[in-house]
Structure 1
Amino acid sequence: MVRPNAALARRGDFLAVLADPDLLQLLLVACPDAVIVTTPENRIALYTGAAEAMFGFAPVEVMGRRIDVLFPDRVRRRALRAALARDGRVAAFELPAARKDAPPFPAAVSAARVTGRLGELLATVYYIRDHSAYREIEDALRRNNAQLTHLVARLDHLARHDSLTRLLNRAAAMDAARDILLAFPVGAARLGVVIFDLDRFKAVNDSYGHLAGDAVLQAFGETLRQLARHGDVIGRFGGEEFVAFLPGASLADAAAFAERIRQAVQARHVPIDETLAIAITVSAGVASIPESAENLEEAIRIADERLYAAKRAGRNRVVAADSEQRSAA
């Protein structure tokens, strides 16, 4: 609570304070904010030039009227009064303020109740700042932060994905596979690993050009996405080589997935232009944890060796065991 000096308090009229020219000058000069003083009935008794500039109302339009005319939001106004009644003062209380012939503006209101010796309310003093500029800065920062967040997410996506096929790149696919393995209880990890390689891909580039090769890579990436389960990790390992990490899949499950991919690729012709579509095939090597290997790196090595066994056996086939050379249907 703010209390006037004893002599003024005994007069029982806080408005007498305002009649003291020295005190009033000190009050108004020292404070750069709009200053408003209200009576116990919430009627405006002092309305400074700064307040007139801020609100746009001439003194004759507001003097003697309830301060509600300057703060039209009833809910926030009641909250302000409740805080004043409870604590005797508030600081930087945000609420909408009226501006003559203009939309409301955000105001920060600091206020204190002035009481006499017996606790009776003599007046309430309000110091008001126009927070429009602050709000504009906050809004601009919020927009910039949203744009920055979007940009960071976009950059992260670009860093983790192959730009041509939109699949995970090698590093991101490996990270995702490690995360999958870490999620299993100790000793219970189960992961199928398939490495694919498009057959005679160099011949496609040499015969039809690199744009045709890009179309083939994109078509194969789309086939992988279409046939993969939710939760499977599909990535481009580099060049014409791709990988699939299949959580919970056994060696037989992973081999069956690879075979479905092989058949889908064999049945698909990739359009190059309006008159040309080319046929492609794919070979695959399959391994699994724990059936083939105990860790991810070893499983990838074994799958890669089986891929090259498929290539040596004539391509367009899936090899899922060291002695296996499963021919295409």
Structure 2
Amino acid sequence: MSTSEGIQANEPHAAIRLVTQIYVRLLLAGFALIPAYLIAYLFFFQDPALHFENHAFHEIAIAAATLEGLFVTYVTWRCYRSSGEPLLRWMTLGFFGFALIYALHGAFTGLAHHNIWLFLLYGPASRLVMSVLLLVGLLSYRQSPDPVNRRVGTRYWLAWVAAFLVVDLLVALLANSAIAGALGVRLSMEGGALVFSTLNVATLVLRRIRSPLMLIYGISVTWFALSSLSFILGRPWNHMWWLAHAIFAGGFFLLSYGVVQAFLTTRSFATIYSQEELSARLAEAMARTESALQELQRTNQKLEHLAATDPLTGAANRRSFIERVEAEIARAKRDGAPFSLLSLDLDNFKWINDSFGHQIGDKVLQGFVQTCLDAIRPYDGVARVGGEEFMVLLPQAGLDAALAIGERIRLAIASTPFAREIGRGVSITVSIGISQFGKDGNTIDTILHAADQRLYHAKRRGRNCVIAV
């Protein structure tokens, strides 16, 4: 059974697959909603008046978040430069805008008792900007890649840096204005971040985007939405407010993990495959590999055959014949079984080439080999060792048996008309010399020499004969 068939045989029943798919989706939904459970716990079971005000801890946390944001911005930008995906461009801007705006939330921590709005408003502003840019990016998912010149355009990126700095300035002006303390200012920003993050999740669901990295993206954006909800329900320095920071940080960590995975693999959010796609691609790849291995095996067998045979007659070549004789010598020395060699030479073959041409001569050689194969035993071997010179290996045959086979070959050749294409067959005879291992020597050179000497003896005796002694 092939590998691909084995994979198909191990596929689970359709009902089992359906149940496991539902279970996985429930698990993912449960994981995405973990922050909601924590928010509900604090909202219903904790005193909102309890505070933990620690400026140094807050400043360190915001500084770490800003540095991480800048790092993830750089990694996302590198992915974008490689793939050109519009989603990655907008994600880069989202991370960068968040870092440039959110940094001031930490920088103004010390002013919390002097200008609370200058301290507070940069947080929701950064989340609002990031959620808007992420939604725009999601709407561009799977669009054509940006051209290379746009990916590296300095003016484009500097324009966005300027836009983010303008946002910083506008937030500062708003924080120092008379309406800064109005209830709707902070809630509008945080509520806007909640709305745009929720739209992100809804867009993912409606467009049925389910690739692994986009799944991470969806869970992260869900946490961003829940962090905004927690900020709305909380008050500065109480536990709900700190929980909101932790939820947003968790979503940011998860999304940055997806970005790093893209960076370490395909540099793309769109070309990461699901488990089902990977299984299908693995099965296809294994089937192609198996097919390629079978083709390679057939090619190797053809090459081995070509390397071991004479291309004209199909008989073994000299190298292959010598290897087989050496193997037979080793077996004879081990088991004591005799074997013999026949040295054959077509009589007056030059006359055939001169009279009828080399093409007819080739036909005669091909017919000669086929006639020999018909005359010898199935496990004997014929080899072409020269122009019209051949050898026959006779395993487990002494001189008497070799002489009988040699005579059978001689008679078959003499009575067979070859190359009937010319209208009448070409008659030819063969001279044969025989040697036996052990009796005529214990090395390949000695038994080959003995067979050749007897072949010459057959030639001197008038050709068309077999000489064994």
TM bucket, shorter chain: 0.5 to 0.7
Separation in 2 of the partners of 1:52 and 1:310? 89
1:211 aligns with 2:225: no
Separation in 2 of the partners of 1:176 and 1:157? 14
Which residue of 2 is the match for residue 68 of structure 1? none
Letter in 2 for 1:19: L
Separation in 2 of the partners of 1:161 and 1:250? 26
Separation in 2 of the partners of 1:263 and 1:54? 80
Which residue of 2 is the match for residue 155 of structure 1? 303
1:229 aligns with 2:229: no
Give, in angstroms, the shift of residue 301 of structure 1: 0.3
Separation in 2 of the partners of 1:316 and 1:225? 18
Number of matched pairs: 217
Contact 2:316 2:383 in 1 (8 A): yes
Structure 2 CA distance for partners of 1:195 and 1:134, relative to 1, 3 Å: same
Task: Answer with 1 or 2: which has the greater Rg.
Answer: 2
Which residue of 2 is the match for residue 20 of structure 1? 34
Give, in angstroms, the shift of residue 184 of structure 1: 3.4
**Higher helix proportion:** 2
Give, in angstroms, the shift of residue 267 of structure 1: 0.6
Separation in 2 of the partners of 1:51 and 1:199? 86
1:300 aligns with 2:314: no
Letter in 2 for 1:175: E
Give, in angstroms, the shift of residue 52 of structure 1: 4.9
Give, in angstroms, the shift of residue 17 of structure 1: 4.9
Give, in angstroms, the shift of residue 289 of structure 1: 1.1
Separation in 2 of the partners of 1:195 and 1:264? 16
1:289 aligns with 2:303: no
Which residue of 2 is the match for residue 253 of structure 1? 401
Letter in 1 for 2:389: E
Which residue of 1 is the match for residue 293 of structure 2? 145
Letter in 2 for 1:302: A
Structure 2 CA distance for partners of 1:276 and 1:129, relative to 1, 3 Å: closer
1:311 aligns with 2:325: no
Structure 2 CA distance for partners of 1:53 and 1:251, relative to 1, 3 Å: farther
Residue by residue, what CA displacement relative to the aligned partner does 1:168-213 show, whole Å, maximum 9, x if unpaired?
Answer: 0011011011112222353714111110000000000000000111
1:279 aligns with 2:427: yes
Give, in angstroms, the shift of residue 146 of structure 1: 1.4
**Higher strand proportion:** 1
Contact 1:197 1:284 in 2 (8 A): yes
Letter in 1 for 2:34: D
Letter in 2 for 1:245: L
Structure 2 CA distance for partners of 1:192 and 1:134, relative to 1, 3 Å: same
TM-score, normalization by structure 1: 0.60
Structure 2 CA distance for partners of 1:22 and 1:177, relative to 1, 3 Å: farther
Letter in 1 for 2:444: L
Contact 1:194 1:244 in 2 (8 A): yes
Structure 2 CA distance for partners of 1:231 and 1:23, relative to 1, 3 Å: farther
Separation in 2 of the partners of 1:282 and 1:272? 19
1:184 aligns with 2:332: yes
Counterpart secondary structure, 1:279: coil
Separation in 1 of the partners of 2:282 and 2:377? 50
Letter in 1 for 2:465: R
Which residue of 2 is the match for residue 175 of structure 1? 323
Separation in 2 of the partners of 1:154 and 1:169? 15
Counterpart secondary structure, 1:184: helix
Structure 2 CA distance for partners of 1:22 and 1:202, relative to 1, 3 Å: farther
Separation in 2 of the partners of 1:308 and 1:263? 19
Letter in 1 for 2:307: A
Structure 2 CA distance for partners of 1:199 and 1:23, relative to 1, 3 Å: farther
Contact 1:177 1:233 in 2 (8 A): no
Which residue of 2 is the match for residue 112 of structure 1? none
Which structure 2 residue ranges, 5 or more long, are not aligned?
1-26, 39-203, 212-272
Identity across aligned pairs (percent)?
Answer: 31
Separation in 1 of the partners of 2:370 and 2:415? 14
Letter in 1 for 2:402: A
Structure 2 CA distance for partners of 1:208 and 1:108, relative to 1, 3 Å: same
Separation in 1 of the partners of 2:37 and 2:463? 98
Letter in 2 for 1:300: L
Aligned with residue 262 of structure 1, among 390, 398, 410? 410
Residue by residue, what CA displacement relative to the aligned partner does 1:209-247 show, whole Å, maximum 9, x if unpaired?
Answer: 001110110111001111121221211111101101111
* Aligned alpha-carbon RMSD (Å): 2.9
Contact 2:332 2:339 in 1 (8 A): no
Which residue of 2 is the match for residue 194 of structure 1? 342
TM-score, normalization by structure 2: 0.43
Separation in 2 of the partners of 1:155 and 1:164? 16
Residue by residue, what CA displacement relative to the aligned partner does 1:145-171 show, whole Å, maximum 9, x if unpaired?
Answer: 211111111011001000111010011
